[in-house]
Amino acid sequence: MVGGEECEGRRQADARLALFVVVAFVWLWLCVDPSRTYYGAGLTALPAFSPDVMFRRAYFTTLGGPVRFVSAWLSQFFLWPAWGAAILTALAAAAAVVTDRLVTCLAGRRLHGYRYAPALLFLLLDGHYLHLVDWQLGWVVALAATDVVLRRPEGRPAVRLALLLAEVALLYGLLRGPAVVAVPLLALGETRRRETRFLAAVLVLWLASLPWLGTWCGFDQPLGEVYRVLFGPLLPNDEYGMARAAVAGMAAFALLLGALALMAAPSAKPRLELRPLLAWAGVAAGCAALVVAGGDRVEGRRLEMCAHAERGEWDAVLATAHRMGARDITQYEDYNILLALTHTGQSGDWLFRYGLPLFSMLRGDPRLGDEETILKMRTQHGLQLCELDLELGFINMAEHETHESLETQGTYPGLLVPMARIEVLQSRPRAAKVFLRLAAAQPGDPEGAAPLLRALRDDPALSGDDEQTGLARNRLHTDMYNDYSTTHMLEQAVKEHPDHRLAYEYLMAWYLLSNQTDKLVAAIPTLPAFGREALPRHYEEAVLCQEALTGAHADLGPWRIRSETRRRFEAFTHALGCAGDELAAALRVPSRPPLWAARVWRGPWSDTYYYYRLFGTSGVQP
Amino acid sequence: MTRRRLAVVLVPALLALALLAWWCRPAPRPGRVVNESAALPHVFPDLDGVTLPPNIAPPGVRIDEPGNAFHAVARGARGPVIEVSSRRPGLVFPEGRWHRLLAANAGGAITLTVAARDAAGRWTRFAALAMDVAAEPIDRYVTYRNLTPLYNLAVDVGVYQRDLTSFRTRLVLHGRQFTDGCVNCHSFCQGSGERFTLGVRSGTWGNHTLLVADGRVMLLKQALGYGSWHPNGQLATFSVNQPRQFFHATGEETRDVLDMSSALVCFDLTQRRFVTAPVLSAPEFLTTYPCWSPDGRSLYFSRARRPWHDDTFPPPQYDQVRFSLMRVAYDPDTGAWGQAETIRSGEAAGRSFVFPRVSPDGRWLLYTSCDYGVFPIHRPNSDLGLIDLRTGLDVPVDINSDRADTWHSWSRNGRWVVFDSKREDGLFTKLYLSYCDENGHLRPPLLLPQRDPWFYDNFWYSYNVPELLERPIRVDAARLGRAVRARDVVDAPLPPELAKPAPATWRGPGPTR
């Protein structure tokens, strides 16, 4: 009878776990969307994968390398949301199963509720777009290996010691960090056996030797990072704080399991910890909590914008920007929004709607923050920046950027294919083939490198490829050694290619953001129409500002300022309560508004150039 | 064991065996009916006309001819005949038999005959590729740096040592061992891995120089540039540079490097101090690339008048700096320096002559020339040049390509040269081995062999600063890494008369090759 109840309880517990797994999969697939982690690789630390010998060597000669290698390979499947969700769900489910087995082994009774703890932790990390697949995989393997060893029948102490030490060494070699957690489990597990209790002491001593082991192993990252996580300041105040806390939580969890082994005597009668109905309710509540509060929506939108930008879905970038709160928009989003505005030809009309600052232009700026932030910004945007440079015709600059990104980011297909295009432009088709082969060998060949590789065999200049000919057409021809100043590069680009719309969009946006209205006004008479019937609004506003500053009418060639723009500017000056020299004085020094300018602060003009000029900020609350 | 369990074990095992047998089935070989082609086959690496060291490992050969089966026969006047077949267009020769074939034909020649089978099953045999086999072996080891084509950021830079008689490669030191550091110039004494220096740079651990001698590892506080050991092993000469990198907005090569200042210093191992002399460190000159003559009585180097007088960067005259090849006499007994004499004037020739390397027999001086500057690997027109030091005349060098050829090193017997070249694809530098005969004629070079015929197809790293070694580096990577991280540095200050030392803090990897 008892056996029947136990069997029924086990079935019900498995059914609950199955429900949890299904909900987790659907949630990960449709809500979290692992492809965002893939496209935001610079922000989420998703590793690159490469089939080349140096990549394998780097992984298989370091502690924890094998697991990280597998993790890097698995991570490439995050490009497809369903696959990514399946991988993450499988890891969470595996963590639940091995935890269940360990609890059973250590405590001598089934405690089904415990297994949800690591699974939930895994899913919470996934929901916050913290890419820790290597840790998760390592954990699963570490717990499984610990379970196997602890379940081994009694043996002679020497044999057992040899077995344990071999396992510990294997765990370090394979897993790196998670081994730190497996070892205390092993040690505590051993204390249950009187005759092998001294082995526990050996393993505890082994723990004490870890700093030495870390140094001895020669590579700085493996254990140092783990120690920083486990013994450094609790909950560090940075974006990886949660990940570190989670790792510390895992260690605590492992110790808790071990404590169970010390405290709980094996029960003769199996006991279910919860009544079935309550258990179902608990799991349902867990699922609901996961779906409602398990993900980081802001980070999700941020990464969603990255994904849209990398795929060139500019309207979707702007739509995502509309859905984000002004406070959630950071320099990463600024950059993507400017990309979207310029690519859709809207920068002249909507540049100041989104509150873009000056440093959302071509390159990173020291004002972004500390070194780490700049590097992350640069690496994340290296992929897009390289494509932008290519489109603008700055081939050498694109080459520079892509190589920096390649060094820091790794062999992402999204980086390798533009690199190949650059090599073709630089008359190095054989080097292009190397990059294309690497990209084509990635799971699924997401960037279509194989067809390009085939085309390159017969056409070393890719002259039959529209994208390539477009890039070659806009190429910059004048060398400005070490002069990457935005103004000079863009001015040269429009000088050499007067029909280059993207270069014009960026140049005029740069003039606006850097308050160079004199240059902007000077460029207007020769500004190509690009299918427009009227001057973009911000250009008109800049002209009005310039006229107010100089007191003279600007020569706009064939262009005219629309009456509604004039009326709006007059309403602004009226609200400001000044005109003539007083207005010119207020506008002369940008971003230094006089006190009385507070009359128009946050008024209906916050999406205009003159508002930006006066206050140094802009933007409409979405 | 129950029947069911037996089946569970046996069925997969049998399936695996069958799969293995299918995988290992012998590749087809040409029958009697064979079309003979007078054309040479397209193979990679290019083997026709090259001279092979008699102790070199067998190169994996990729056959760039259509076909679904391939066959090759390597034979010489003596020794074994090696036949290999494959269904894929890549052929790998067995190492043992290859070495026996080369040893038997040292000083002679071997041929490689390739045949390919088309879809209809017809075999075509191509004209034989002819290769000379030199009588003199190449030094067994080559040490080089592997890195991606870097700009400012570096996370994957390592120095490796390859055994040329096989494919064994071992790590000497990797930048990862000291927090995304950079390992750069390495210099050996008399082709021995037992006495050498290795530059290291790291934002965390500082910019220093590792010095390994007599089994001891020292970390010199100073960051040093290019080095050369005096034959007595107690004196090492280094350049102290202020290298700066800048970038071009157009053109085939984006990167460019110049030294804002440079001078030479000598490190005395016995006294552990740096010394210099006016002839080595005059501030009005840029002095770099030291190289000791084999007798230790002359120091060769490159020198150019420094045309800028302030810190404007890049200086407008960056493309007018042309280095000359110089020589200065040295008395090892007294430590006295003579007067500098010009071997080749860069100004007169309109070229920049850098990186002099004297052959161990003292007869030849191999150098690199480029249109301007100090960093030939970034100049596509860089070429190797050779001077006969007995006559002082130039010897024509026929192995140059239309892309950069530089970073050369001699073998200890003076018969082999290893150098870097971008000739293959224009981006990734690769190592080439060339035989130098008694008349100074450099024979067509062999690309560094790899076991995998497709190795270079997706290898996106560059090889640079190759150095041939007779005796290998024995200090292991972990020990060198610990020495860098130990912060236990030998603080030997540079002579005060040096103009401007290299920056003390790390600013990215600086110039890369």
ipTM: 0.91
Q: Taking residues A113-132, what's their average pLDDT?
A: 86
Please give the structure tokens belonging to residue A314. 């500019």
Asked if A442 and A515 sit in the same domain, the reply is: no
- Asked whether A462 and A455 are in contact (CB, 8 A), the reply is yes
Tell which A residues from 35 to 64 touch B, by Cβ distance under 8 Å. Answer: 51-54, 58, 61-62
Per-residue pLDDT at A179: 64
Judgement on whether residues A448 and A520 belong to the same structural domain of the protein = no
A7 and A126 share one domain: yes
Give the residue from A52, A212, A220, A375 with the most B CB atoms within 10 Å of its CB, the best one to mutate: A220
Contact in structure between A417 and A436 (CB atoms under 8 Å) = yes
Q: Residue A244: pLDDT above 60?
A: no
DSSP-assigned letters across all residues of B305-355? E----S--SS-TTGGG---EEEEEEEETTTTEEEEEEEEE-HHHHTSEEEE
Determine the residue of chain B that is closest to A57 in CA distance.
Answer: B171
Using the beta-carbon criterion (under 8 Å), do A480 and B154 form an inter-chain contact?
A: no
Q: State the Cα angle at A147 between A142 and A151, rounded to 5°.
A: 155
Mean pLDDT value across residues B265-290: 93
Q: How many domains does chain A have?
A: 3
Q: Which residue, A255, A277, A295, sits at the end of a domain? A: A295
Domain boundary among A278, A295, A312: A295
In this structure, are A83 and A201 located in the same domain?
yes
Nearest to A408 among B153, B248, B481 (CB): B153
Cα A50 from Cα A421, distance rounded (Å): 19
In a domain, A489, yes or no: no
Residue A324 lies in a domain: no
Burial environment of residue B358 by CB neighbours within 10 A (0 to 12, 13 to 18, 19 or more): buried
Rounded mean pLDDT, A444-454: 93
Task: Using alpha carbons only, give the angle B202, B206, B211 rounded to the nearest 5 degrees.
Answer: 95
Taking the alpha carbons at both ends of chain A, their separation in whole angstroms is 64
Q: Are A434 and B149 in contact (CB under 8 A)?
A: no
Of the ranges A247-251, A322-326, A420-424, B12-16, which one carries the lowest mean pLDDT score? A247-251
Q: What are phi and psi of B109, to 5 degrees?
A: -150, 160
Q: What is the residue range of A508's domain?
A: 498-615
Residue that wins the pLDDT comparison between B302 and B23: B302
Distance from CA of residue A42 to its chain's centroid? Answer: 5
Given A54, A221, A396, which is nearest B249 (Cβ)? A396
pLDDT for position A281? 86
A425 SS3 class: helix
- The backbone torsions φ and ψ at residue A347, rounded to the nearest 5 degrees and listed phi first, read -65, -30
Question: Is A433 in contact with B457 (Cβ distance < 8 A)?
Answer: yes
Order of strands across the sheet that contains B43-44? B43-44, B61-63, B90-91
Judged against a pLDDT cut of 70, whether residue A221 lies above it is answered with no
CA distance A508 to A517: 9
CB of A451 within 8 Å of a chain B CB? The answer is: no
CA neighbours closer than 13 Å in the CB half-sphere of residue A1: 0
Residue A453 lies in a domain: yes
State chain A's mean pLDDT as an integer: 81
Where do runs of H (alpha helix) occur along B24-140?
A: 95-104
Residue pLDDT, tens place only, A271-289: 555 577 888 888 888 888 8
B15-41 as b/e, with b when 16 or more CB fall inside 10 Å?
A: eeeeeeeeeeeeebebeeeeeeeeebb
**Dist. CA B307–CA B286, nearest whole Å:** 9
Residue A439 CB-half CA count within 13 A: 25
Prediction pTM value: 0.88
Residue A340 lies in a domain: no
Residue A299: name the closest of A366, A240, A257 by CA: A240
- From the centroid of its chain, how far is CA A145? 32
Q: Which of A119, A80, A127, A124 is nearest to A99 (CA)?
A: A119
| CB A379 within 8 Å of CB A401 | no
pLDDT 10s digits, B429-454: 999 999 999 999 999 999 999 999 99
Cβ pair A219:B151 closer than 8 A: no
Amino acid identity for residue B382 in this structure: S
Decide if B252 and A427 are in contact by the 8 Å CB cutoff: yes
A-chain CB neighbours of B505 within 8 Å are: none
- What the block records as the tokens of B309 is 């007088």
Residue of B176, B313, B458 lying closest to A219 (CB–CB): B176
Mean pLDDT of A356-374: 59
A395 and B250 in contact by Cβ < 8 A?
yes
d(CA B217, CA A113): 56
- What confidence tens digit (pLDDT) does each residue in A65-113 have? 888 899 999 999 999 999 999 999 999 999 999 988 887 877 777 777 7
Within a domain: A303? no
Tell me, yes or no, if A394 comes closer than 8 A to chain B by beta carbon.
yes
The answer to whether residue A247 scores a pLDDT higher than 50 is yes
The number of CA neighbours under 13 Å toward the Cβ of A523 is 28
| In contact, B210 and B222? CB cutoff 8 Å | no
Residue with more model confidence, A142 or A467: A467
* B34-36/B123-125 β-pairing: parallel
Q: What is the 3-state secondary structure (H, E, C) of A230-253?
A: HHCCCCCCCCCHHHHHHHHHHHHH
Q: Is B318 on the interface with A (CB under 8 A)?
A: yes
Query: Judging by beta carbons within 10 Å of its beta carbon (0-12, 13-18, 19+), is residue B132 exposed, middle or buried?
Result: middle
pLDDT of residue A223: 45
Point out the least confidently predicted range of A378-387, A420-429, A455-464: A378-387
CB atoms within 10 A of CB A56: 13
Suggest the residue from A62, A394, A403 to mutate for an interface test with chain B (most B CBs closer than 10 A).
Answer: A403
**Helices and strands per DSSP (H, E), number in chain B:** 5, 34
Chain A touched by B458 (CB under 8 Å): yes
Does one domain contain both A147 and A79? yes
**CA-to-CA dists, residue B121 to A369, B29, B63, B291, angstroms:** 67, 11, 17, 58
Q: What is the CATH number of domain B141-485?
A: 2.120.10.30
Residues B385/B369, Cβ–Cβ less than 8 Å = yes
Q: Which CATH class is domain B34-133?
A: mainly beta
Q: How confident is the model at residue B501 (pLDDT cuts 50, 70, 90)?
A: very low
Average pLDDT of the residues of chain B:
91
Who has greater pLDDT, A152 or A144? A144
Residue B418: enclosing H or E segment and its boundaries? strand B416-421
Residue of A218, A423, A435 with shortest CB distance to B477: A218
The pLDDT value given to residue A622? 43
The torsion defined by the Cα of A594, A599, A601 and A605, in degrees rounded to 10, comes to -110
In the three-class reduction of DSSP (H, G, I as helix; E, B as strand; rest coil), residue A384 is classed as: helix
Domain-ending residue, one of A483, A509, A529? A483
Buried b (16+ CB within 10 A) or exposed e, A304-324: bbbbbbbeeebebbbebbeeb
CB A401 within 8 A of CB A414: no
Asked if residue A57 belongs to a domain, the reply is: yes
Helix (H) or strand (E) holding B199: strand B192-201
Q: Do A428 and B250 touch (CB under 8 A)?
A: no
Quick check: A545 and A613 in contact, CB under 8 A?
A: yes
pLDDT class of A377 with cuts at 50, 70, 90: low
Give B302 to chain A, closest Cα distance, Å: 25
Tell me whether residues A489 and B249 touch, CB distance under 8 A.
yes
pLDDT in tens, B206-264: 889 999 998 899 999 988 999 999 999 999 999 999 889 888 988 888 999 999 999 99
* CA–CA separation, A294 and A286 (whole Å): 10
Contact A431 B461 (CB under 8 A): no
The DSSP H or E segment spanning B387 is: strand B383-388
B427 touches chain A (CB under 8 A): yes
Which among A52, A426, A476 has CB closest to B460? A52
Are the CB atoms for A381 and A332 separated by under 8 Å? yes
Cα gap B125→B296, rounded to integer Å: 54
Q: How far apart are alpha carbons A94 and A141 in whole angstroms?
A: 9
> What is the pLDDT at residue A295?
83
Residue length, chain A? 622
* CA end-to-end span of chain B: 64
Domain boundaries, chain B: 34-133, 141-485
pLDDT one-digit tens code per residue, B87-121:
999 999 999 999 999 999 999 999 999 999 999 88
Torsion-angle region of A199 (φ positive above 0: left; ψ -120 to 50: alpha; else: beta): alpha
8 Å CB contact between B366 and B384: yes
Distance from CA of A461 to the nearest CA of B (A): 14
Task: Chain B: give the shortest CA distance to residue A60, in Å.
Answer: 13
Q: Which pLDDT band holds residue B487 (cuts at 50, 70, 90)?
A: confident
Contact criterion met (CB below 8 Å) for A120 and A89:
no
Cβ–Cβ < 8 Å for B338, B309: no
* CA–CA dist B504, A152 (Å, integer): 57
Contact residues for B250 (Cβ-Cβ < 8 A; gap 6+): A395, A396, A475, A476, A477, A478, A479
Q: Is residue A147 part of a domain?
A: yes
Residues A282 and A423 in one domain: no
From chain B residues 113-152, the ones with a CB under 8 A of any chain A CB are 146, 148-152
DSSP state of B442: B
Put simply, whether B9 touches A (Cβ < 8 Å) is no
CA B461 from centre of chain:
13
Find out whether A20 and A287 touch, Cβ atoms under 8 Å: yes
